[in-house]
A and B are shown apart, each in its own frame.
Chain A
Amino acid sequence: MTKPILEAKGIVKELGQGAGMVRALKGVDITLNPGELTLLMGPSGSGKTTLLSIMGCILTPTEGHLAILGQSTAGMDAEELARLRRRHIGFVFQSYNLFPTLTALENVRLGLDVQGVHGSAATERARAALTSVGLAHRLRNYPRNLSGGEQQRVAVARAIAGSPALLLADEPTAALDAENGQAVMALLSELARDESRAILAVTHDNRTLPFADRIVHIEDGRIVGEERKTPDSRRPPAEAPRSKKKKA
């Protein structure tokens, strides 16, 4: 059995203090395995983003245990968590979060620079990442000159340029039209075929379902269900695969 990329057990997260304290996560167990694209779905306020932030080592859980590639995050300070993120985790954000003053190539290079990859090595890797998302012809363009879909692909290139083991995407299709949303999901689905990488995307968008290997449902801070598809059933949207659903 392959070792999981991420293991979270009994994750509890309390936000706020005193009378205003909210228990956003109430004991979540989740495992992300390599070669899988997992969708995390749930209504607004269900705790999706909080769970994503904890899995991305941006927030720390109030209770519970989180391990990335077998390395426990317990007791890590902010700088140690940042180090873990830059080594193993890539992010794709709903609003792309590209740097408007940098070109597509520079945006990807910046992500690599943060990881300690500099100079021509960074340029080559950034160019290869942008080429892999179909933007070889847009290297010198600034975000303002790119469509929403292209910007999100630059964000994906930035996330994968450092070859992270874990790719976390927050509503990656929410700001995109149907065509661009499908293209980005197809790209994430393709990236998930890499057996050394796990991808999790938080989404509301039902059009993303056909690309998933696994769909995890969260409600009121708890995992309430999970659908897992057979490895060969992952197909383009026109040939949406069958799924089997089980209660968590």
Chain B
Amino acid sequence: MVLTLAFRNLFHDRIRLVVTLVGILFSIVLVAVQLGLYLGARKMIIGMIDNANAELWVTAFGAKSFEEAGSLDGRQRHIALSVPGVASVEPLVASFNEWRKPDGGATLSVVVGTDMPVGGLAPWNMIEGEPADMFRPNAVIAERTYLENLGIKGVGDTAEIGAQRVKVVGLTEGIRSFTTAPYVFMPLARARAIMGMTENQTTFYLVKLQPGAEAPIVQRALQARLSGVEVLTTTEFRDRSLAHWLFSTGAGVALIGGALLGTLVGTVIVAQTLYSSTKDHLNEFATLRALGSSSGYIHRVILLQAALSAGFGYALGMTIALIIIEASKNSALPIIMTPGLAAGLLALTIFMCAISALAAIMKVTRIDPAMVFAR
């Protein structure tokens, strides 16, 4: 009967129910979109770092992110290789460069130069061609979603990067860039030539450890042996990149702030409607108390009302959020929904409704059952 009473109390006043559900729905959609954008941005920022097969990154001192790092010289590689626990040290070049479109105009791209050895970085999610195709003359691999930005239609089209003519020989799917400058994969030598680097220069060294070697120990040893560089674990480099793009620029604060605002607005709306619903049913709760119900029984009715609101609000909110997410798939900043985020949003909705129920429970706790005789 507790469920029946909670359900009927909730559905008795349809207008109030609609207001409650809109409040939860608004909150869920706002939080889902904001956190989904955050996750989308995060995935773009750390995509290169996470897909590189390396435990440690050697970077120029003060490197801010994958796209913004100074250059290293070739001596560092030989020193690094002599450190115990190091299995391989592979160069990787990454830098902004101008992409000249075949029909005129230019856009900024990020040149990624890699020879794809074990312990390096190879293009992934290929939908056309193979990673090894980029070793053909002037070949590069581009991202499908940026074809329009790059002014090309697909594989076989040509353009220029710097002063070099390049030909697209393969396409990836989903390697998006937070800066909106498309990643263009090519062999190291071509990348160095485009960037005006010597054959020993690089942007990063990707360090792969020998089996059983401990990353912190090798990191400290490398840092001690190499001068003028930083040795970062993958996690440290990932955190630094996120801190740079999301928090130094304020973008992350805006996204998280929006999510917090959504939670706050949702909580206030649900709390207000639940409280006023409880006030409207106060005489009924007093009757229940007079009939001998425990206060726990009444609290269960209120909590179930909150839980039902949460359930319906979550289902509606997630439906709309998923539609928005689907629509954002090909946008500059795709929104991401993960099982973890979906579960987190459910927990947030339940938390929001439980907090909202507290005000109503506090009201009903002070109820005087003698009021049933006062009518």
- Give the distance in Å from the alpha carbon of A114 to the alpha carbon of B300 in the complex: 12
Q: Is the CB of B2 within 8 A of A102?
A: no
Q: Are B373 and A114 touching (Cβ within 8 A)?
A: no
Q: Is the CB–CB distance between B373 and A85 below 8 Å?
A: no
State which size class the interface on A falls in: 35 or more
Contact between chains at A99 and B5 (CB < 8 Å): yes
Closest to A81 in B: B292
Measured in the bound complex, the distance between the Cα atoms of B375 and A94 in whole Å is: 8
The answer to whether A97 and B283 touch (CB under 8 A), given A83-B294, A114-B288, is yes
Dominant secondary structure of chain B at its interface with chain A: helix
Tell me if B258 counts as interface (CB < 8 A to partner A): no
CB pair B291–A111 under 8 Å, yes or no, is yes
How far, in whole Å, are A109 and B5 apart by their CA atoms in the complex?
Answer: 11
Which residues of chain A from 78 to 110 have any CB-CB distance to chain B below 8 Å in the complex? 78-79, 82-87, 89, 91, 93-95, 97, 99-102, 106, 109-110
Q: Report the separation of the CA atoms of residues A158 and B291 in the bound assembly, to the nearest whole angstrom.
A: 9
Check A85/B297 contact, CB under 8 A, given A95-B375, A110-B5. no
Q: Across the two chains, which residue of chain B brings its CB closest to A48? A: B373
Establish whether residues B5 and A79, one from each chain, have CB atoms under 8 Å apart when the complex forms.
Answer: no
Q: Which of B4, B289, B372, B373 has the most CB of A within 10 A?
A: B373
In the complex, whether B53 has a CB less than 8 A from a CB of chain A is no
Q: A115 at the A/B interface (Cβ < 8 Å)? A: yes
Give bound CA distance, A59 to B289, whole Å.
12
CB pair B373–A52 under 8 Å, yes or no, is: yes
Identify the closest chain A residue to B293 (Cβ): A114
When C-beta atoms are compared, the residue in chain A nearest to B365 turns out to be A78
- The smallest beta-carbon distance between B218 and chain A, in angstroms, is 64
Q: Is B14's beta carbon under 8 Å from chain A? A: no
Contact of B295 with A by CB under 8 A = yes
Cβ contact within 8 Å between A53 and B12: no
Q: Assuming A53-B373, A58-B370, is B292 touching A102 (CB within 8 A)?
A: no
In the assembled complex, how far is the CB of residue B302 from the closest CB belonging to chain A, in whole angstroms? Answer: 15
| Among candidates B4, B288, B291, B375, residue contacting A106 with C-beta atoms closer than 8 Å | B4
Does A170 lie at the interface of the complex (its beta carbon under 8 Å from any beta carbon of B)? yes
Chain A residues numbered 30-58 whose CB sits less than 8 Å from any CB in chain B: 49, 52-53, 56, 58
Given A94-B375, A115-B292; A59-B8 close (CB under 8 Å): no
Interface string of B287-320 (1 = CB under 8 A from A): 1111111110100000000000000000000000
Please judge, given known A-B contacts A52-B373, A106-B1, whether A79 and B290 are in contact too, CB under 8 Å.
no
Distance from A109 Cβ to chain B, minimum over Cβ atoms (Å): 6
Give me 22 A-to-B residue pairs in the complex whose CB atoms sit less than 8 angstroms apart, sorted by A's number: A49-B374, A52-B373, A53-B373, A56-B290, A58-B372, A79-B294, A82-B295, A84-B292, A85-B290, A91-B372, A93-B287, A93-B290, A94-B375, A99-B284, A101-B9, A101-B12, A102-B8, A106-B1, A111-B291, A114-B293, A158-B291, A170-B373
Counting from the closest, the 3 A-B pairs by CB-CB distance are A86-B292, A101-B8, A85-B292
